[in-house]
Amino acid sequence: MADDFESFNTALAGGAPNGRPPRAGRSHANGWSRCAGAAGLLSALGGAGLTVDAVAPGRIPGFQSVRPAVWVGLSVGFAALSLLLVVLARLRPSARGRRSVGAAGIVLLVCGLLFTGCGLLLERSFPEGLIKAPIRDEAPVDQPDAMDRGIDKAVRPCTAGWQSMSVGDYPGVSVVRYCKDPSVAWASFDNGSAVSIYRAPVQGKFKELVSKRGGAQANADWCLLSGGRWMVVGLRADMVRLQAAWGGELASIG
């Protein structure tokens, strides 16, 4: 009988025990807090996306078409929204004195901003990323005549024929050949370390020689195309065509 009376009293009071109405303020505060957490999570995901793209640019499927500014906008925008929702949640009367209200949103928005800052720092410090995509290298580096024919095909035939240079005074260098028309020179090396060692000196020496000649060649756009054990110097347009055939990395000389 007492149980029936208690149930009847609860029904009259709107479903709350002991005749007290439900505390709507607490549910509203929890709702704002949940929304703040969701916005903070989106901010963290945006910052994480920027960081991943900065570490390995162009390596993640679907990330190639997303510019860094989009990731930054997502992270910062949702961080601001999360902060606003946390403030609204804590302004509810039922949330006063409860430090846990909106805590998840605050933690996640801070993570989002940290990820964004880290991503921007990595992007500026390492423009090519920490994890680089493998570079295609299909040059017939062990066959000098095939190297000549490949350049002739990609650029245009060497009218005066390819000429060789002595490499006895240059340790690590296997073959050096050049053509006067078109103006192209290439070299092959014993190993990849030699390419790294000679890259800067070759660029400097070539720039010096072109400057001494003067005329149109001094103002031309010269480039260095290099692979695992080879490098070719020539005009940018010619090196772009050769890169399409062999692969390698293209760098300006100047």
- In angstroms, rounded to a whole number, what is the distance separating the alpha carbons of residues 25 and 209? 80
Residue 79: which H helix or E strand, with range?
Answer: helix 68-91
Tell me whether residue 226 is in a domain: yes
Cβ contacts of 158 within 8 Å, gap of 6 or more: 148, 151, 152, 179, 180, 181, 182, 184
User: Is pLDDT above 70 for 6?
Assistant: no
The amino acid at 153: K
User: Is pLDDT above 90 for 62?
Assistant: no
Q: Are residues 149 and 228 in the same domain?
A: yes
pTM for this model (two decimals):
0.54
CATH number at residue 233: 3.30.200
User: How many domains, the chain?
Assistant: 2
**pLDDT of res. 102:** 73
Per-residue DSSP letter, 169: T
**pLDDT of res. 97:** 55
Most confident of 88-102, 200-214, 222-236: 222-236
Tell me whether residue 131 is in a domain: no
Q: Report the range of poorest mean pLDDT among 33-42, 60-69, 77-86, 218-227.
A: 60-69
Q: Are residues 35 and 101 in the same domain?
A: yes
21-44 average pLDDT score = 73
Where are any strands of DSSP class E within the chain? 163-164, 173-179, 184-189, 222-226, 230-235, 249-252
Q: Are residues 11 and 118 in the same domain?
A: yes
Q: Are residues 92 and 196 in the same domain?
A: no
- In angstroms, rounded to a whole number, what is the distance separating the alpha carbons of residues 146 and 240? 19
Tell me whether residue 179 is in a domain: yes
Tell me whether residue 132 is in a domain: no
Rg (CA), the chain: 33
171-197 average pLDDT score = 91
Tell me whether residue 103 is in a domain: yes
Q: Are residues 176 and 241 in the same domain?
A: yes
Please measure the distance between the N-terminal and C-terminal CA atoms of the chain and give it in whole angstroms. 98
**Residue 187: domain span:** 144-252
The Cα angle at residue 67 between residues 60 and 247, in degrees rounded to 5: 55
Tell me whether residue 139 is in a domain: no
pLDDT tens-digit readout, 182-191:
889 999 999 9
- In angstroms, rounded to a whole number, what is the distance separating the alpha carbons of residues 47 and 66? 13
**pLDDT of res. 176:** 92
Contact call for residues 165 and 176 (beta carbons, < 8 A): yes
Confidence of residue 95 (pLDDT cuts 50, 70, 90): low
Which of these three, 96, 125, 154, is where a domain ends? 125
3-state secondary structure of 18: helix
- In angstroms, rounded to a whole number, what is the distance separating the alpha carbons of residues 160 and 163? 9
pLDDT tens-digit readout, 105-156:
889 999 999 999 999 999 898 887 887 777 889 999 999 999 999 999 999 9
